Structure 1
Amino acid sequence: MKTRKLLAAAACIVLASAASCSKNEESAEKASEANTTAATAQNAGSIVFHAEGDITDADLDSISQILSERTADEIPDIGLEFSEDYDAKTVTMTFDKENAPKDNIDVFAERVLEKRLLEFRKGEKPDDEVILTNDDVEKAENVIMAETDGSMSDYVSIQFNDHGTEVFADVTSELAGTDTPLSIWFDGELLSAPTVRETITNGTCIISGDFDTTAAAELAKKIDSAPLPYEVSVKEINY
């Protein structure tokens, strides 16, 4: 009987020790998680974007997606998280401060809020009829082409999708041989306004301008990204 009691007592001690160890491990894990959370919060910055006007929940989701894609493209290693507040009409971008552009965070915020709206107009005035937009573009890229004097120049090449190709063929057929230019606008700025010599049916448009390789690549990249057809502003920056 004494032996059994001793064994039972020993078992109780072992179980108590195991329970104590388990509690200690849980406490250590919680402390570690708390320290990690605190360290993460200390290293985190945020930008709060506010959508203006009559914005639906779907619109806010679209804004969040566009900002997420643009930011990841600008700074791939920034460590992003996006959250939406549908009542306040805000999108909060949380990022790792170590990888963020500390010296020009304001400039960075402005860049991701660019409209990036591409418009082809029949005529060269800002209120002339819009014929083609970003929705008609399949791909944009910078290209280097030889000039008649043998020098090399940078251009932006646009390949339209099926709908854009059809519309582009129709409008170039209409304007070919006339004095009416087909102007190209980006975010309200006139890039070029060439006259049309002949119908273009292959769905390719070459944009000329005062480009170097960097500027041409930057413009092509912006045209290739999704436009932001909403009014969005920076509400606050926490860094």
Structure 2
Amino acid sequence: MPSAAERTRTLVQSTCSSVLLIPGLEQAPPYALTPDERTVGRDGEVLLTFPEHSPAVRAAAHAHDDELSAVLEVTDVAPVAVPHRVRGRTWVSGRLTRVPRDTGPGTATLRLETGELSLDDLWGAERVEPEDFAAARPDPLSAHEAELLQHLAAAHGSEVQLLRGLLGEHTGAGSAAGAVAVPLALDRFGLRVRFVGVQTFDARFDLPEPVADVGGLRRAMHTLFEAAAG
């Protein structure tokens, strides 16, 4: 399974929605505190691009002695129609400063030094050490995950449905009969499917081996579907 640090890094560098929570700006509308871009620097710091006139940039500009604290909250929502679509959230807290660099006309970059990180997702709730976050890399499929899941749901629904046969005698296998199988999450190690029926539950299907790209995933999914069909 992907480590908590890898999952956190994947969410922070993804296109999932996010908001920057800053003390004193609780009344600001969420869209005004949503960064236009998020990147992670060499030391694990999170770089956030905002419009020059945003309240976050003004707050950072007026802070004294780098004492402005902030929390970046990233929310992961499933890209397919399924009950309980929020797949997870991660929070990155630390000191917020403005980066003195040219980011283009009308924009500014803020630096969030990673002090504490926490994650609550489909795998569970965990704390993440800043050094582990800095050393981690995002999942290689993350940039394509939404498109891949939508493709599986639209074009390979019958194959995904057959995966319930691989559950064997595990808990929930009986209730999978007649349930709708929805591909919920995908990473280099496997596919998570949500079976929606009288009893809704998730099942994780490991790939034959970890994959590094979409080409490897296609081959791995073909093997997985063959196993389910047999």
| TM-score normalized with structure 2 length | 0.30
Larger relative contact order (CA 8 Å, sep ≥ 6): 1
TM-score, scaled relative to structure 1: 0.29
* Structure (1 or 2) with the larger CA radius of gyration: 1
The structure where strand makes up a greater share of residues is: 2
Indicate the structure with greater helix content: 1
